[in-house]
Amino acid sequence: MNAKVIDGKAFAATVRARVAEHVAANAAHGQPGLAVVLVGDDPASDVYVRSKGRMTREVGMASVKHRLSAETSEADLLKLIDDLNNDDSIHGILVQLPLPGHLNEDLVINSIDPAKDVDGFHTSNVGLLGTGQKSMVPCTPLGCLLMLKDHHGSLSGLNAVVIGRSNIVGKPMAQMLLKESCTVTVAHSRTRNIAEVVKRAEIVVAAVGRPEMVTGDWIKPGATVIDVGINRINETVKGGGKTSLVGDCHYDSCAEVAGAITPVPGGVGPMTIACLLLNTLNAFCDQKG
């Protein structure tokens, strides 16, 4: 293996420590509060929400969890969000996605006060990012960007390929890299000759949700590979099966060619929650003026 391993777990710990220092230093102005709303009982969402709550408390912020039944009506959910919008002790609101099918996700997200939208999913924050203005930005691409800037310094002029066009990762990642003056290509399931497209990139961000899709022969020698994927796969091993986590990139073959790479787990994942805390701190500071 030749690539430098970008340690997202360690980097996230330093980001959280910096956030904790700021929270303590600003205690005279109040305590930042983050409300997390979970509708239904999706087990994966439950795990994420519990670790978000624990880390929020660890940096000295108030963590408020609202767990609603899967049958909650849209009107009741909108009423809760309205109450949180008007609650001065709450500076950030996160509605865990996906929502049960009977709830209109766009409507729910757009009912959050954009100043408290620590996910950066509100249409007004999306528009601000797209026009290069200051905004709340989604946590996962922000985590990727912080790691890229830490590794490269300036990203100006670099060729970046983002694989995946989701609203949560792919599209905002492309906008953020454009803002850093990268030359950005967004590749997706309909992209022709995707391996050739990816091979032109000095920065590859893979966010497609397909286990080990990107292999070493797609990677330009020396490129930086950021793997957003977290895929649970069942492996057959001697004497039975086991579940393991893999990214969207085939780690061993990509690490042979890349200059730097994020592992799964321990890469992008921990940075996402650290960036949620960073966004909550920024929301608190903005709301305190």
Shortest gap between Cβ of 139 and ligand GUN (angstroms)?
5
Name the segment binding ligand GUN (CB under 6 A); options: 93-101, 181-189, 232-240, 278-286: 93-101
Listed in sequence order, the DSSP H helices in the chain are 8-25, 43-58, 74-85, 105-109, 123-130, 139-152, 170-179, 194-199, 251-257, 268-288
Backbone angles phi and psi of 244, in degrees to 5:
-140, 165
Nearest residue to the partner ligand GUN, using Cβ: 97
- Is residue 96 part of the contact set for ligand GUN (CB under 6 A)? yes
Interface residue with ligand GUN, options 147, 168, 206, 281 (CB under 6 A): 168
Span 119-138, contacts to ligand GUN by CB under 6 A? 119
Interface residue with ligand GUN, options 56, 72, 135, 140 (CB under 6 A): 140
DSSP symbol at 99 = P
Is 52 part of the annotated catalytic residue set? yes
Q: Which neighbouring-strand residues pair with 185?
A: 161
How far is Cα 262 from Cα 168, in angstroms, rounded to an integer? 19
- Supply 257's token pair: 């060619």
Is 175 part of the annotated catalytic residue set? no
Exactly one of 113, 116, 117, 119 is catalytic; which is it? 119
How far is Cα 119 from Cα 108, in angstroms, rounded to an integer? 13
- With residues binned 3-state (H G I as helix, E B as strand, rest as coil), the percentages for the chain, rounded to 5, are 45, 20, 35
Shortest gap between Cβ of 118 and ligand GUN (angstroms)?
9
- Is residue 95 part of the contact set for ligand GUN (CB under 6 A)? yes
Asked whether the beta carbons of 229 and 120 are under 8 A apart, the reply is no
Shortest gap between Cβ of 137 and ligand GUN (angstroms)?
11
Asked whether the beta carbons of 259 and 148 are under 8 A apart, the reply is no
Tell me whether residue 114 or residue 258 sits nearer to ligand GUN (CB atom).
114
Interface residue with ligand GUN, options 38, 80, 94, 182 (CB under 6 A): 94
How far is Cα 36 from Cα 49, in angstroms, rounded to an integer? 7
- Supply 236's token pair: 């057959």
Tell me whether residue 38 or residue 258 sits nearer to ligand GUN (CB atom).
38
Is 119 part of the annotated catalytic residue set? yes
Name the segment binding ligand GUN (CB under 6 A); options: 17-25, 82-90, 94-102, 185-193: 94-102
Q: Is 230 annotated as a binding residue?
A: yes
Shortest gap between Cβ of 94 and ligand GUN (angstroms)?
5
Residues near ligand GUN (CB under 6 A): 94-97, 119, 139-140, 168
Catalytically active residues, by annotation: 52, 96, 119
